[in-house]
Structure 1
Amino acid sequence: MADRLPRPIIVNAFNMNCVGHINHGQWTHPRDTSVNYKRLEYWTGLAKTLERGLFDAIFLADILGTYDVYGGGIDVTAREAVQLPVNDPLMLVSAMAAVTKGLGFGVTVNVNNEAPYSFARRISTLDHLTDGRIGWNIVTGYLDSAARAVGRDGQTGHDLRYDQADDYLEVLYKLWEGSWEEDAVRADRAARVYADPAKIHPVHHRGPFYRVDGYHLSEPSPQRTPVLFQAGTSGRGQRFAARHAECVFISVPDKAAARAASRAIRQAVADAGRDPQDVRILNGISVITDASRAAAFDKLAEYRAASSPEAGLAHYSASLNIDFGRYGLDDPIPFGQTNAIQSAAKLAESRGWTKRQLLDQLALGGRYPLALGTPAEVADELESWVREGEIDGFNLSRIVTPESYADFADLVVPELQTRGLYKTSYGQGTLRARIFGQGDRLPATHTAHAFRIGTQLKGAAE
């Protein structure tokens, strides 16, 4: 693997404003500090660690419901803190941004549970306060418990949720890209003109799901539209990603599956009239490393002792909307069609996984592939994933926090840098400029360009 990759590997810290995120049970490990998630210094300290490791961003997941499918309730979910309790991810960003200069922030917000008009202002505010380091992970939801909590009988149909998301994004593009002209703000004290009213335009949107009449409340932020993350790899989710996403998060167990997913995503992007290289594809991964192989395997044994495979199964039950508690260890499981995460169900069905096999996969409390060993061995594995899986980088889950991130920053990053596979400093400009190297704003090939003020003023106001 002597030849260099075309660009540095992207690494985001995958996290959540809660105790247990992906690798369940690890809150019981004596070196894990995730029970301090309610304290600001927990997050500012983590941000400093990630900045030391030149992580591209901290990618904050979120849910609005509870994992109540396994066993028909929340017993395991509550006992093992399976993303319960969970706090608002957006509230963390300003504090972490204040103690960092280069770290980006990807926040998850469900389009089905917040009006686009108010959400547009929240994101613009964060883009201002972070100097353009904000990204948004677009999700449409999959938990019936979340839908019931906000007054609906259950989740709407899978494809219909994406139809609604398309309409939601169109409203946002009109607000972010088309309401304020680039030079609308003058801040002219002598003339007593802060903003030129002739250069601020109302948005009048009539869509199948949303109706909006109003001006965007925020002046143009460094990126206008945040970096757009998305995690849908079903047929409809893939079409949505092809139109909107800049970074696509996949969750597959091996490099062959990653390669198939990556090729399908890039083909869909090309079919949508965009350059396939306009997207960055990231897979979820866990890393356990130490200076020696023996020490790394000792950590693995420690982490396995602390893990809760059953808690991981409770999480996975909600992902597929299947109560695995009803099945014996070797019973056949009818995965079939689901209104939850279709890609996860399709993969499970294709592999014919039983409960016993799933529990074996969940030995660390989560199902992400594991890179294990010395820094050199981990670097070999990550490089292999990028080359063979045709991906651009990773969402690195935490096993023990902050140890997992600190180990990566202090041990793996120097090894990757020595190989020319990882940046040695943060680049200039916004999060988008650093990831894509093509400026702070969405490119002209993106669907949002049709609503950009000065490009097509009419499209911005209709």
Structure 2
Amino acid sequence: MSKKRIYLNAFDMNCVGHQSPGLWKHPNDQSDTYNTIEYWVNLARLLEKGKFDGLFIADVIGLYDVYQNNREATIREATQVPVNDPAMLISAMAYATEHIGFGLTASSTFEHPYTFARRISTLDHLTKGRIAWNIVTSYLESGTKNIEIGDKFEHSKRYDIADEYLEVCYKLWESSWEDGAVVRDAERGVFTDPDKVHEIGHQGEYFNVPGIHLCEPSPQRTPVLYQAGASPRGTQFAAKHAELTFISTPSKEATATYVKKLRAEAAKQGRDPESLKVLALATVIVGNTEEEARAKYEDLAQYVSYEGAMTLLSGWSGIDFSEFDPDEELKYIETNAIKSMLEGLTKASPNKKWTPRELANFAGIGGLGPVFIGTPETVADLFEEWIDETDIDGFNLAYAITPGTFEDIVELVIPELQKRGLFKKEYGEGTLREKLFGESPYLRSDHTGHRYKRIAEPVK
């Protein structure tokens, strides 16, 4: 077995239930307290106790309204609505912790890069360099109906726009302010040297940003960059920009195929393929014995909501699952979205009959990634097996109930991983990028964003 260093993120969202529809009804679930600062601070402290690398906070702008072609089931089942702004959580969690990183999901579709770059720099300052950005382009049409963004954001152009969005951000973060621009010279009355602050002069197809970045350089300048696009265009985008990528696949075969394509594409971009870290979605149900873990899973499974799961699956796939009988076998339904979903599931469970009801049962606990059930030793074995056979670098761990799922991981799984030498016992020093990669707080020299870094001009 490999002794590759395992990366672990906790996966949550500023809403009820996240990817475990119906589990909010479980007596031990506290996800309905998502709108309190206490929930988030306590979660951050718990995860830091377990030496998690980060808390990855998902987000969507819009509603899952594909199922039954309306919003009723989504609202009734609390399918990622109500949902609050994830950025507001981070300052309080950072103040209560010292090391854990925070991955903020934010869409290049719904906010201008000039104001967004300031928000990220602010968070990087306030967290002392522990911020990451999960770059998404957004896929819910229901969101675009409420924000006047025009037809330039049609689906086929989203990644082209995101490429330029990143270019603007790189220019603001990397080249607007030179190192040493802030001098704090009280005797001369000079806080910032104006000669070391530069307008970026960006004139592009989608954005015109002539001015300076409003923030002085933050500890990382550019945040750690996450991306989760799995389409061919999304993979190309991730290979160019991402430092960590997130994948949601139910089988090792599908995961290995993605990782191979991603690393090959990164090499085409002139990057070290191994510098990209890939985290796979997974949910852990762990007990002191196999019987205890299985009983725990059966207890959780009885709370899964069929309609809640269907609203998620319909939103993700674009297919209205209300049109199918719950017990109809789906293998003969030839839509691209369902076909690709079923192919991955069939590889994971080749003898299973996949119906909408079985899909709901599978996705109802933690989404479309695998569910690892067993003792700490069994779960650790499965972690190693997936890493060895797929070339992933770690896991984005969803919850069945919160904080209970994460408490079990911290108390039972983490010590087993540490005993095997697979997971850190202490955090490293420095920013999130330094903790993750053991190198500089700034972008690597082979990253596309590095070429925007301004070299100090010689003194005349």
Q: Which TM-score applies when normalising by structure 1?
A: 0.93
Partner of 1:335: 335
1:19 aligns with 2:5: no
Deviation at 1:4, TM superposition (A): 2.1
Deviation by residue 1:363-408 (Cα, 9 ceiling, x = unmatched): 5373321111111111111111111111000110011100011110
CA distance in 1, matches of 2:204, 2:339: 31
Query: 1:41 — aligned with what?
Result: 38
Cα separation, 2, equivalents of 1:214 and 1:188: 25
Question: Which residue of structure 1 aligns with residue 391 of structure 2?
Answer: 390
Partner SS state of residue 430, structure 2: coil
Q: Distance in 2 between matches of 1:456 and 1:403?
A: 54
CA distance, structure 2, for counterparts of residue 100 and residue 214 of structure 1: 35
Q: Give yes or no for contact 2:179–2:456 (8 Å, CA) kept in 1.
A: no
Distance 1:384 1:456 in 2: 51
Does structure 2 retain, via aligned residues, the 8 Å contact 1:309–1:366? no
1:317 aligns with 2:305: no
Deviations 1:29-53 (A, max 9, x none): 0000111111101110011100000
* Residue in 2 that maps onto 1:346: 340
Q: How does 1:151-300 map to 2 (within 5 A)?
A: 151=148, 156-300=153-297
Aligned Cα root-mean-square deviation (Å):
1.9
Structure 2 CA distance for aligned equivalents of residues 431 and 362 of structure 1: 31
Deviation (angstroms), 1:306: 1.3
- What are the superposed Cα offsets for residues 320-350 of structure 1, whole Å, 9 maximum, x if unpaired? 11111112223543423x7xxxxx8634467
Pick closer, same or farther for the CA change 1:68–1:167 going to 2, 3 Å. Answer: same
2 CA distance for matches of 1:142 and 1:248? 18
- Give the Cα separation in 1 of the matches to 2:42 and 2:24: 18
Specify the SS of the correspondent of 2:145. helix
| Structure 2 equivalent of residue 460 of structure 1 | none
Q: Which residue of 2 aligns with 1:405?
A: 406
Secondary structure class of the residue paired with 1:434: helix
Indicate if the aligned counterparts of 2:250 and 2:345 stay in contact, CA closer than 8 A: no
CA contact (8 A) 1:308 1:365 kept: no
Match of 2:120 among 114, 118, 123: 123
Structure 2 equivalent of residue 373 of structure 1: 374
CA distance in 2, matches of 1:365, 1:248: 18
Matched, 1:364 2:360: no
Deviation at 1:198, TM superposition (A): 0.3
Q: 1:365 to 1:229 in 2, by over 3 A?
A: closer
Distance 1:78 1:154 in 2: 28
Residue aligning to 2:350:
none
Deviation at 1:218, TM superposition (A): 0.4
Task: Give the Cα–Cα distance (whole angstroms) in 2 for the partners of residues 219 and 372 of structure 1.
Answer: 47
Asked if the contact 1:159/1:236 (under 8 Å) is kept, the reply is no
Q: Does the CA-based 8 Å contact 1:143-1:155 persist in structure 2?
A: no
Asked if the contact 1:450–1:456 (Cα under 8 Å) also holds between the matched residues in 2, the reply is: no
Asked whether the 8 Å contact 1:177–1:224 carries over to 2, the reply is yes
The aligned runs of 1:30-69 (5 Å cut-off) are 30-69=27-66
CA distance in 2, matches of 1:291, 1:346: 36
SS state at 2:396 partner? strand
Cα gap change, 1:287/1:351 in structure 2, threshold over 3 Å: closer, same or farther? closer
From 124, 138, 143, the equivalent of 2:140 is 143
Q: TM-score, normalised by structure 2?
A: 0.94
Q: Distance in 2 between matches of 1:52 and 1:383?
A: 22
Counterpart contact for 1:14–1:58, Cα < 8 Å: yes
> For the residues of structure 2 that align with 1:321 and 1:220, how far apart are their CA atoms?
41
Identity of aligned residues (%): 47
| Gapped regions of structure 2 (runs ≥ 5) | 347-353
Counterpart AA for 2:71 = I
